[in-house]
Amino acid sequence: MPFVAAMAASHAPNMLLDPGVEWEEFMTLHYRMAPQAASARPSLEVQKKLRKDAENAFNVLRSDLEAAKPDVLIVVANDQFVNFFYDNVPTFFITTADEVRGQFTRYNFHYRNHGVLGRAILESGVAAGLDLSFGENIELQHTQMVPLHFLLPEPEIPILPIFVNTWIDPLPTPARCYALGQLIRQVADAATERVAILATGGLSHFPGSPRIGEIDTSFDEGLLRQMRTGQGPALADLTLEQLRQAGNSEFLNWMVTVGTVGDVPASDIFYMPDQVATGWGFASWKI
């Protein structure tokens, strides 16, 4: 079966920051905006443990990815005003370039892009009534680069960035994102290449909101529990308001991957609130 692996992971910037000075600068930025600005901050020891726990989770996902031996990795993420702004906000965007690049802090990223697979998804989507935007000139950002740093540090295989609008209303519904995932699965199953998919984002966090610093751990744990028990399809019934109230609009990226796996239970689940702004979540499905 050409569809060989599915996974999801948070892309919080502080995952890629060194404990200590870099973390302190990140926390200063977030705590300055947070209502609980005087709250105790994670100690250096806690920072190191969080980084180690995240690395351990990524190591499991990377092991699953390598075992699947994919020929291409689809990366589903959201843009954060790097490529799209109010003059052009696509709901779903397929990258058709030959290569993609980006830079985050001291890291530079350069991957081949699988434009052929992108075109196949685009054409199948249009034929099925799921109109998708497409284009060539995109720049990778932390939403893709943080997980790619851990999962695909060397550009041995091409990637295919797919963007989902999770920031600017109107957002696609979870059901619509699930349908996109189903479409991707159909295209992957008909492909000659071995296809893997990675969704990034979340979990609970409130960037640019007065609620920044809050983490809805209960909601996060409920999402992960449903995926672990094979109830992923039921997540398509969530409303956008439910996701917004829990700071989980980026879970729409995850819903695309959930659409590719259906009711297959997640084989590995990890969760750790970073005590700064975000509930870090990780999941992997063995196909």
Query: Could you report the per-residue pLDDT of 101-155, keeping only the tens digit for each?
Result: 999 888 999 999 999 999 999 999 999 998 899 999 899 999 999 999 999 998 9
pLDDT above 90 covers a percentage of the chain that reads 80
**Looking at this protein, which amino acid is placed at residue 160?**
L
Q: How many folded domains does the chain comprise?
A: 1
Residue 180 vs residues 16, 127, 131, 218, 223: alpha-carbon distances, Å: 29, 13, 10, 27, 19
Burial class (CB in 10 A: 0-12, 13-18, 19+), 264: middle
Structure tokens at 250: 């980026």
For residue 132, give the nearest of 99, 165, 85 by alpha carbon: 165
How far from the centroid of its chain's Cα atoms is residue 192's Cα? 25
Which CATH number belongs to the domain containing residue 110 in this structure? 3.40.830.10
Q: Within 13 Å of residue 97, how many CA atoms lie on the same side as its CB?
A: 17
For position 42, what pLDDT does the model report? 87
- Work out the pLDDT band at 1, boundaries 50, 70, 90: low
Q: At what angle do helices 251-261 and 217-228 cross, to 10 degrees?
A: 10
Distance, in Å, from the CA atom of 253 to the CA atom of 121, rounded to the nearest integer, reads 16
Structure tokens at 52: 């180690």
Domain that includes residue 188, residue range: 3-286
For residue 151, give the nearest of 48, 55, 273 by alpha carbon: 55
pLDDT at 39 over 90: no
